[in-house]
Structure 1
Amino acid sequence: MIWELIATIFAGVGGAGIALLIRKISKQNAPKWLVPALAGLAMLGFQVQGEYDWYEHQASLLPEGVVVVKAVEEKAPWRPWSYLYPQTMRFIAADVANSAQNKIDPNLILVDLYFFERRSVAKRVPQIVDCLQGARTDFTQNFSASQQDNNHKQTWHQLDKSDALLTSVCS
């Protein structure tokens, strides 16, 4: 985050430098307000470009075997341009390469999901995907694959048949 701040400041200095060059070429006929205006536009432009490039950059850094299963685009009133071009501010990736099949019930697959959000630390959440039922649940120490174990009820969340998590883990 500190590097982003430093880069934003340098973008502002660059924008101001261009405005000063324009004033020099025009023999000081260009208005003085052009210097802070171009500096501000350069900093704002750099930030907007960074917001839009964040998802592609983060997704390209994922190791082989980690697949993006959901990307969340957002619109916000403080980013009016996002109504025309929504920004991907969060996404979920599944570590398919290191998923593990349950030995008791081969339809159950343990997979790590990684939740990425702009300007936040990634979070890892282990999940169990039931390929036969098309559902997922959180993996806990009390998880039981047995249907007879009523002491530890799991909350299963149904997935669409075309859900990217289901198709990538169960194929």
Structure 2
Amino acid sequence: MIWHLIAAIFAGLGAAGIGLMLRLASGKRLPKWIIPVFAGLGMLGYQIHYEYSWFDHKRSQLPATTQVVDTRQDSMVWRPWTYFFPMTVSFSVVDQSSMVPAQGDDDAQLVEFILYRFEKEYVDQLHHQPYLMNCDSAEMVPLTSGSRQPRLEGLRPVEEDSRLFQAVCSPW
């Protein structure tokens, strides 16, 4: 976080320098307020660039075996430009190298996997939860963290054409 503050300050200083150079190049015909306006625009431009490149940056840090299965875009009042271009604020990932296939009691194809959820906040959040997917009935159930026992109250259906179902069940 401190590095983004430092980068925003330097972006503001660089843009203020451009404003100063434009003022000097015009023979000081441009008003003095052009310098702080350029500084503010430089800082705002850096912040907007950082917020919109967050998803691509996080995705580039993930292993090649991961697959993005869900993204959520949102608009915010204090960022009015997000109403025109919604910003990605969270996404979910499945790591296909950590999936474990199993056979159910009735020969159902079961796959155990971990669903990772990344959320963009002032400090990035990462939540993970192990799940068990029944590829035959298109249902998934969360597992307890320690004993890996299914929590049946969390059983939910999954659309067969969803990216989550395709990522988990298609390799098997």
TM-score by length of 2: 0.88
Q: Following superposition, which runs of at least 4 residues in structure 1 exceed 4 angstroms of deviation? A: 103-106
CA shift at 1:120, angstroms? 1.5
Q: Deviations over 1:16-39 (max 9, x none)?
A: 111111111122221111111110
2:128 and 2:9 mapped to 1: Cα distance? 33
Structure-1 residue corresponding to 2:73:
73
Amino acid at match of 1:160: E
Structure-1 residue corresponding to 2:161:
162
TM-score by length of 1: 0.89
Unaligned 5+ segments in structure 1 are 145-151
2:89 and 2:152 mapped to 1: Cα distance? 33
Amino acid at match of 2:137: Q
* Identity %, equivalent residues: 36
* Alpha carbons of structure 1 residues 37 and 72: separation in structure 2 relative to 1, 3 Å: same
1:80 and 1:130 mapped to 2: Cα distance? 43
Give 1:133's match in structure 2, choosing from 131, 137, 141: 137
Written as runs of structure 1 = structure 2, the 5 A alignment for 1:20-169 is 20-105=20-105, 107-118=109-120, 119-140=123-144, 141=147, 143=149, 153-169=152-168
Matched, 1:2 2:2: yes
1:153 and 1:126 mapped to 2: Cα distance? 13
* Alpha carbons of structure 1 residues 142 and 50: separation in structure 2 relative to 1, 3 Å: closer
Q: Deviations over 1:65-118 (max 9, x none)?
A: 111000111111111111111111100000112100125455221111111111
- Do the aligned partners of 1:143 and 1:154 also contact (CA within 8 Å) in 2? no
Number of aligned residue pairs: give it: 164
Unaligned 5+ segments in structure 2 are none
Q: Deviations over 1:21-58 (max 9, x none)?
A: 11111222211111111100110011111111111111
2:143 and 2:161 mapped to 1: Cα distance? 22
- Do the aligned partners of 1:23 and 1:29 also contact (CA within 8 Å) in 2? yes
2:42 and 2:139 mapped to 1: Cα distance? 47
2:94 and 2:2 mapped to 1: Cα distance? 29
Amino acid at match of 1:113: L
Amino acid at match of 1:156: L
